[in-house]
Copies of this chain bind each other. A is one copy, B any other.
Amino acid sequence: MSNTFGTLFRITTFGESHGTGIGVIIDGCPAGLAVEAAHIQTALDRRRPGQSELTTPRNEADRVQIQSGLFEGLTTGTPISLFIPNADQRSDDYSHIAQAYRPSHADYTYDAKYGRRDHRGGGRSSARETAARVAAGAVAAQLLAHFGVRVQAYVSAVGEIEVPVGYEELDLSLIDTNLVRCPDPATAARMEDRIRAARDAHDTVGGVITGVATGVPPGLGEPVFDKLPAVLGHALLSINAVKGFEFGSGFEGTKLAGSQHNDEFYTDDAGRIATRTNRSGGSQGGISNGQDVYFRVAFKPVATILQPQPTVNQAGEAVTLAGRGRHDPCVLPRAVPIVEAMTHLVLADLLLRARSNKL
């Protein structure tokens, strides 16, 4: 019972990997926003399977249908319902896991929690659910664009291969110029090789996505429990395969002295209060300070591998699970739009919530 996310800009998702489709209802989008299906589709196309040789060959067109909430191209303030029919389902691919528990998947835990599960393609636990988030995030992005906020994410590490510099030294317009969605071309090439090597070894590889939000006005984030990084962390840690989240100086920043870590305030040429450094990651006391909000998200290697693995079945008996189905050797490239979407959703929500700060 938590298929809803957000307080004022709120989404509720539904659907399983092998059901009729995946969908989302957006409740709370202000009236008067121009929303186009094409914009949503562009976001979905960056997430959809089968988009390149580096991703799963499952081929889903992922065509979004807008079912409600728009009139003459503008939002009306009523719920926006988006539906993405499933097309290329092959449920028989999953008959072998009807009884067995795939290692590091949600098969066992769903059974333990609910006493039953839809085993086809992982059912509700499938990352296919994130298509709904991407669709909703595209609407949030349009709301944010209206206020000058922009979010970009990219793959900053695949396995042990890392982009050697920070986001501020990269040209983020290059993100979509390669299959792996890394704006550093040289590193991107190495990452692609790394992913191919994993695929050829019938194995998988993890990595890190870096996200950056620019144009965030000061004042977003709610003390004390819904601090900007806390809500953002919640959102990103709810994505399948995510194992960690850090913002600003993150784990590395713990090694600095306070005198090294503090961000000095000054007044910039435009008369705005700014900071000379940004180890805070755009958030102080959990509230945005007008600087870039940036963060890193850790993705574990995909659990589905095309190798036989020992495990147990529902009866607890030892069995060997053959590797089958159509899966990604590395989810990072397709996870980039998901990270962006969740960030869009969080910022849109905090932006609306901030409207009740003052008289």
Contact = CB atoms under 8 A, between A and B. Distances in A.
Interface string A225-261: 1110111011101101011111111110111111111
Band of interface residues on A: 35 or more
Contacts of A16: 68, 78
A195 to B, nearest CB: 12
B353 A223 contact: no
Chain A's interface: helix, strand, loop or mixed, by majority?
Answer: mixed
A59 interface: no
Contacts of A229: 237, 242-243
A97 interface: no
A139 to B, nearest CB: 13
Contact of A224 (B2, B71, B221, B359): B2
A104 interface: yes
Interface stretch (A40-48, A50-58, A185-193, A285-293): A285-293
A266 B312 CA distance: 6
Interface string A257-292: 111111111110001010100011101111111100
Interface stretch (A163-171, A174-182, A197-205): A197-205
A310 B355 CA distance: 32
Interface string A2-35: 1111001010111110011101010110111100
Contacts of A218: 108-109, 112-113
Interface of A: 1-5, 8, 10, 12-16, 19-21, 23, 25, 27-28, 30-33, 65, 67-69, 71, 74, 76-81, 101, 103-106, 108-110, 112-118, 123-125, 129, 143, 146, 157, 159-160, 198, 201, 203-208, 218-219, 221-227, 229-231, 233-235, 237-238, 240, 242-251, 253-267, 271, 273, 275, 279-281, 283-290, 296, 298-305, 307, 309-312, 316-318, 352-359
- 4 closest cross-chain pairs (CB), A and B: A106-B285, A244-B246, A2-B226, A204-B258
Given A78-B223, A109-B285, 17 more contacts: A1-B27, A3-B223, A5-B225, A13-B79, A25-B25, A30-B358, A31-B114, A76-B123, A108-B273, A112-B218, A229-B237, A229-B242, A233-B233, A233-B245, A243-B249, A251-B251, A257-B301
